[in-house]
Amino acid sequence: MDQTLKSLGGILLSSLPTLFLVFLLHLYLKFTFFKPLEKVLKQRREATEGAREAAENSMALARRKAAEYEAKLREARGDIYKEQEQLRRSLRDDQSAGVQKAREESARMVADARAQLAADVEAARQSLDAQSDAFAEQIAARVLQGSVHA
């Protein structure tokens, strides 16, 4: 066993330069390769997360603007509907006023026509009365002349 321990000690002693070289290689790779690689990966991760955050912020802003646009669009539609309703009311009122005016005008025309007709009837009656008196006198005169001549 002593021999084995001496052999192991010799192996360990001869492997020390190799272990030292492996340790130096590890340090060299760590500082020249892995540290810059970690730095680049960290920057890439930060840039990616920053871009993701910027994209999320842009999406939130776009949603807000879309909501504002839709609200303004609903408001504009409401205003248009109110304006159309006011125009309809105005047109309906104008139409009602026109109909009322036409009714009043036609009622006036009918009253004028009735008055004119009544005046014409009265004038015709007076004319007929005058003519009937004249005819009656002519008939009476002829009857009297006929009875005198006969």
What is the tally of structural domains in the chain? 1
Q: Rounded to whole angstroms, how far apart are CA atoms 62 and 56?
A: 10
What is the pTM assigned to this prediction? Answer: 0.43
Query: Could you tell me if residue 58 is inside a domain?
Result: yes
Query: Could you tell me if residue 10 is inside a domain?
Result: no
pLDDT tens-digit series, residues 33-57:
999 999 999 999 888 888 899 999 9
Query: Could you tell me if residue 114 is inside a domain?
Result: yes
Query: Could you tell me if residue 86 is inside a domain?
Result: yes
Q: Which domain holds residue 148?
A: 23-150
pLDDT tens-digit series, residues 97-136:
999 999 999 999 999 999 999 999 999 999 888 888 888 8
Q: Which residue do the tokens 């839709």 mark?
A: 70
User: What is the dihedral sign for C-alpha 71, 74, 80, 84?
Assistant: negative
Query: Could you tell me if residue 13 is inside a domain?
Result: no
pLDDT value of residue 138 = 85
Q: Rounded to whole angstroms, how far apart are CA atoms 46 and 40?
A: 10
Q: Rounded to whole angstroms, how far apart are CA atoms 80 and 26?
A: 77
Query: Could you tell me if residue 84 is inside a domain?
Result: yes
Query: Could you tell me if residue 62 is inside a domain?
Result: yes
Query: Could you tell me if residue 83 is inside a domain?
Result: yes
pLDDT value of residue 147 = 62
Any residues with CB less than 8 A from the CB of 1 and at least 6 apart, and which? none
Q: Rounded to whole angstroms, how far apart are CA atoms 68 and 101?
A: 49
110-120 burial by CB neighbour count: b if 16+ within 10 A, else e?
eeeeeeeeeee
Tokens for 10? 């010799």
Q: Nearest-5° angle of CA 88, CA 96, CA 107? A: 165
Q: Rounded to whole angstroms, how far apart are CA atoms 89 and 94?
A: 8
Q: Which residue do the tokens 């004028």 mark?
A: 112
Give strand ranges (E) for 11-133: none
Q: Rounded to whole angstroms, how far apart are CA atoms 134 and 89?
A: 66
